[in-house]
Amino acid sequence: GHHVYPVRCSLFGPSITEVDRRYSDFAWLHAQLAKTCPGCILPPIPGKVVGILHSREFLEARRIGLQKFLTNVAAHEVLMHAPSFRQFLQASTVDLSALKAKAKVVNDPKQALTNWFGKAVQKFSEHDKVQSLAARATGRDVVAKPKSDQDLAFDQIAGYVTMLDGHAKTLQQKVLAAYRANRATSAAYCDVIEATSELAELESSLPEMKSVGFQSVMEIVDIRAKHLDSDWAMLTDAVDDFSRWITSVQAALATREDRRFAYQAQLAAAAKLSGESPEAASESPDKQRSSFSSFLGQSSASHVNAAVQVAKADFEAVHERVMSEVLKFREEKASVLKVMFLQFASLQLDNATEFSETLHRVVPKLKDTSTAPVAAGHVSSVYLSTANDHQSSQYQDFEDVIQSNQTPATKTRKNSSHSLDDNALPATPYADVSL
């Protein structure tokens, strides 16, 4: 089934309302805000994940992301007044499902396609290479059209955001690679713990092994594995959010360009109807852009002129909103990056402190060099019960040597003139060996 998130709100009165929402409801709200609030930089929502089992950690991370989305929408001076936001917070599940179904219906597919086609042709006609080819075909010179101050300022911002998006995506890839490498190292540390635990279990019955710090070593490795697993997790999520935020900025910039192309297409339609050039159809310098023929199919000059005025007002409103949103984005971006890096550094400090405390606790135990006396018959009782016949005979021989307190016989090495006297051997055979 689908996971349901309870959404509690007190924005529209003294009482607190609560509704249940699924992820698709949040996605609907995001899409509606994009339609009804053009030019606004929408807070990003967590990406949709399909085809995996949703773990508890995944659902909690998504819940935090969705809560952050709603909090940012509620704090936005434009988005908070959107009708879709109020409907999302107040409508019943049945009513919201009806709204979602209604949003999927296109009112006029033919008109929507015509508008899209007209804007696409307008964008295509403004391309430098297209203008050059058209001029060459008609035998005229290419005349560079001066851009308005609006377009020049917008182009600078668009270029900056494009470069910012590239660097953010590179950072996202590198941080993700570091996170995955740390996860792999953490898994290797867990394998070390498992192997150490098996060795400790084997040696647990020997009295002389009681003071060996198997548990202390495993505690050290375990704390390192935990830190490796968490060191980059928070930064990875933060960088992902930052990258999606920049994508939202690009979407707002694209909306501004969409409105400009629609405005220029309306100018071209008016110019065609009046038999004038698009430049002559507009008296303002910021409207001096050429276009191919109109695709809007308007039959009346008054209707065309009205459409031009509507498109102009829509473009200018979206342009002003986008420029204001980008300025706010630059201010918030600095704060977000500061918090992101501070949280990463604070986590490293917390992990280092915890690891240092662990070392101070276990190192004194490891420094204890005292050992318990070895019982003569204890070795066989531990090993002979689990070893095979060949290993049992080896351990039995070893026990016999211990009980007789004798050194195993060795072959005497002879040189060409004389043999070594046994009494000449040092008490410790390797006492005179050093580096």
User: In this structure, how many other beta carbons lie within 10 angstroms of the beta carbon of residue 53?
Assistant: 5
**For residue 37, what pLDDT is reported?**
95
The set of residues, in sequence order, having a beta carbon less than 8 Å from that of 376 and lying 6+ positions away, is 399, 402, 403
Where is 7: in which H helix or E strand?
A: strand 5-9
Instruction: Give the model's confidence band at 408: pLDDT under 50 very low, under 70 low, under 90 confident, else very high.
Output: very low
**For residue 59, what pLDDT is reported?**
86
Task: Reduce the DSSP state of residue 14 to 3 states and report it.
Answer: coil
Closest CA to 295 of 107, 125, 105, 140: 125
Is 285 in contact with 291 (CB distance < 8 Å)? no
Instruction: Give the model's confidence band at 136: pLDDT under 50 very low, under 70 low, under 90 confident, else very high.
Output: low
% of the chain exceeding 90 in pLDDT: 47
Q: For residue 327, give both structure tokens.
A: 């300025």
In the predicted structure, residue 387 carries a pLDDT above the cut 60 = no
In the predicted structure, residue 156 carries a pLDDT above the cut 60 = yes
Q: For residue 435, give both structure tokens.
A: 């580096």
Between 36 and 55, the more confident residue is 36
C-alpha 217/C-alpha 406 separation (Å) is 36
Indicate the range of 139-153, 273-287, 294-308, 411-425 predicted with least confidence: 411-425
**Alpha-helix residue ranges (DSSP H) falling in 37-139:** 56-75, 83-90, 93-103, 109-125, 128-138
Between 433 and 329, the more confident residue is 329
Tokens 């599940």 belong to residue? 93
Instruction: Give the model's confidence band at 205: pLDDT under 50 very low, under 70 low, under 90 confident, else very high.
Output: confident
Indicate the range of 168-172, 198-202, 245-249 predicted with least confidence: 198-202
Strand partners, 19: 7
Amino acid at 258: D
In the predicted structure, residue 432 carries a pLDDT above the cut 70 = no
Is 39 in contact with 256 (CB distance < 8 Å)? yes
CA 367 to each of CA 58, 359, 361, 363, 387: distance values in angstroms, whole numbers, following the listed order: 43, 12, 11, 6, 32
Indicate the range of 98-107, 122-131, 324-333 predicted with least confidence: 122-131
* Alpha-carbon 67 to chain mean position: 17
**For residue 302, what pLDDT is reported?**
79
Strand partners, 433: none
Is 39 in contact with 252 (CB distance < 8 Å)? yes
Is 26 in contact with 66 (CB distance < 8 Å)? yes
Q: For residue 361, give both structure tokens.
A: 């606790």
Instruction: Give the model's confidence band at 390: pLDDT under 50 very low, under 70 low, under 90 confident, else very high.
Output: very low
In the predicted structure, residue 150 carries a pLDDT above the cut 70 = yes
Instruction: Give the model's confidence band at 249: pLDDT under 50 very low, under 70 low, under 90 confident, else very high.
Output: very high
CA 234 to each of CA 165, 223, 228, 336, 341: distance values in angstroms, whole numbers, following the listed order: 20, 17, 12, 14, 10
Handedness of CA 307, 313, 314, 319 (dihedral sign): positive
The set of residues, in sequence order, having a beta carbon less than 8 Å from that of 222 and lying 6+ positions away, is 189, 193
Enumerate long-range contacts of 277-284, CB under 8 Å, 24 or more apart. 281/308, 282/308
In the predicted structure, residue 157 carries a pLDDT above the cut 70 = yes
The set of residues, in sequence order, having a beta carbon less than 8 Å from that of 215 and lying 6+ positions away, is 200
Terminus-to-terminus CA distance in the chain, angstroms?
A: 71
- What secondary structure letter does DSSP report for 171? H
Between 291 and 333, the more confident residue is 333
Q: Which domains does the chain have, with CATH numbers?
A: 5-103 (3.30.1520.10), 109-367 (1.20.1270.60), 375-406 (no CATH)
**For residue 204, what pLDDT is reported?**
81
Task: Reduce the DSSP state of residue 427 to 3 states and report it.
Answer: coil
Amino acid at 332: E
**For residue 280, what pLDDT is reported?**
52
Instruction: Give the model's confidence band at 6: pLDDT under 50 very low, under 70 low, under 90 confident, else very high.
Output: very high
Instruction: Give the model's confidence band at 303: pLDDT under 50 very low, under 70 low, under 90 confident, else very high.
Output: confident
Ramachandran assignment for 275, one of left (phi > 0), alpha (psi -120 to 50 degrees), beta (any other): left
**For residue 50, what pLDDT is reported?**
67
Q: What is the mean pLDDT of the chain?
A: 78
Instruction: Give the model's confidence band at 365: pLDDT under 50 very low, under 70 low, under 90 confident, else very high.
Output: confident
In the predicted structure, residue 126 carries a pLDDT above the cut 90 = no
Indicate the range of 113-127, 224-238, 250-264, 325-339 predicted with least confidence: 113-127
Task: Reduce the DSSP state of residue 99 to 3 states and report it.
Answer: helix
Share of the chain residues as helix, strand and coil, in percent rounded to the nearest 5: 70, 5, 30
**For residue 307, what pLDDT is reported?**
87
| The dihedral formed by the CA atoms of 184, 189, 191 and 194, expressed in degrees to the nearest 10 | -150
Between 366 and 175, the more confident residue is 175
Specify which of 109-113, 287-291, 330-334 reaches the highest per-range mean pLDDT. 330-334
What are the φ and ψ backbone dihedral angles of 237, each rounded to 5 degrees? -65, -40
- What secondary structure letter does DSSP report for 387? S
Instruction: Give the model's confidence band at 304: pLDDT under 50 very low, under 70 low, under 90 confident, else very high.
Output: confident
Where is 18: in which H helix or E strand?
A: strand 17-21
Mean pLDDT of 48-75: 84
Strand partners, 21: 5
**For residue 14, what pLDDT is reported?**
75
C-alpha 279/C-alpha 277 separation (Å) is 5
In the predicted structure, residue 414 carries a pLDDT above the cut 90 = no
Is 76 in contact with 102 (CB distance < 8 Å)? no
Indicate the range of 90-94, 103-107, 315-319, 358-362 predicted with least confidence: 103-107
The set of residues, in sequence order, having a beta carbon less than 8 Å from that of 388 and lying 6+ positions away, is none
Between 72 and 146, the more confident residue is 72
Between 336 and 378, the more confident residue is 336
- What secondary structure letter does DSSP report for 430? T
% of the chain exceeding 70 in pLDDT: 67
Specify which of 53-57, 98-102, 411-415 reaches the highest per-range mean pLDDT. 98-102
